[in-house]
Structure 1
Amino acid sequence: MIKLDNKAVANTYESRVHFIGRWTLILGLLLTFIPPLILWANYGIAPPIKSLINGIISISVVMIPVSVVEILTFSPMLGSSAMYMSYLTGNISNMKIPSAAIGMEVVGAKASTEEGDIISTIAIAGSVISSEIIIILGVILIAPISAKLDNPIIQPAFEQVLPALFGSIGAYYILKEWKLAVAPLVTAVLINLIPGLPSAITIPICVVSSIIGAKFLYKRNMLKEDK
């Protein structure tokens, strides 16, 4: 009988996570092409090739840099398995990150540790299951009244859903340590004064300003001790 130490078990777990994660992402990518292929095969509905290529290029120019920055930013917080699940199911910033952060805070685990990776994986798996259940119930319950939701009187309320969501998430982190929020908030406000600046540039700038601000505060012992 071969006795495995903790390092060997961790390496085996990590290799299996990457194997399963890569194949599920590839499968998920391929499945996304099934609906348009069905529309093309059954009804002959297809976009012009030139327009399709131009659309792919215009979106890729923005999304590729943003995705690279997100992976470099979120990976230390979530871990490998949680990252694969997050990018397969989406809603990373507004659902997956808060779920992982609250889960680690409740059990006292830290990010970039084995315990933190496990807790973030469990928390994100729970958020995926609960969100799917809520979406299914929402579609079933809202379908009968969907026509009334198009009323222009209540449309302004729907426009505030996303700002309210991100505002509540931001308030949670700001209240934990408001000094860390000063640099990225000031940077974000100044960047928004520049018209037409794409998010592919604004996101990394805000991330860098957050790191610089946190390092500045840490060196001057201006942050709370993590108990």
Structure 2
Amino acid sequence: MSIVIDIHQFPCLNDNYGYLIHEPVSGRTAAIDTPDAAKYLEEASRRGWTITDIWNTHWHPDHAGGNLAIKEATGAVITGPAGEAAKIPGLDRPVKGGDIVAFGGVEALVIDVPGHTLGHIAFHVASAGAAFVGDAVFALGCGRVFEGTMPMMWDSLKRLKALPPETQLYCAHEYTASNARFAVTIEPENKALKDYVAWIEKQRAANAPTVPALLKRELETNPFLRADLPEMQLAMGHPGDAAATFGEIRSRKDRF
């Protein structure tokens, strides 16, 4: 039986997106990360929801900084990466890849996606066709490799690439316009990318979000997810080596 959930997306801080998942049968509501406690509590209150759960993807302050304030206000149970347990404020339940997180009738598979940080995780809610990916991957981009290695990050992206292509990726930031400017330097003749860029320009001109990102479209356009293609490997100077090709693309983006 499929479970109907409400996913509420809203902007917060400078360029973050906040997410609330509400399961109407149980009445429970999960906050995906907590960049801005006041904004999360306000958005939940406007809908008559109470935040009962917090799911953290990683320890960075713009993802876990509001944990304690929300927990104090609502008593929410905090779930987060076991690999970063010492850095997640108020953590109640440490989890790792392969674990199942559930509330009400909703289940999410935890996926290990280290690289941006060493313990980064994502939550795949298969019944909703949704994956909450934090800073692991963005529309036309991916997170900077701050704590891990390029091969580690590529392995993480492969796990996300393996999700059903119709999965919506709920990324944590509105970085898409700048990511698009870089992506076209890597594949200037990619027709799907050109069409995507035109859509992005219209969305941003209307101050509309470009997130969530459809995985199928990202597989056709996001250079970071395309490092396993022979033509991409050849263009980046690393034939036969997907991890090195990814590393070259990520290094170029870091200098862009």
TM-score bucket (shorter structure):
under 0.3
TM-score normalized by structure 2?
Answer: 0.24
More helix by share: 1
TM-score normalized by structure 1?
Answer: 0.26
Q: Which protein shows a greater Rg?
A: 1
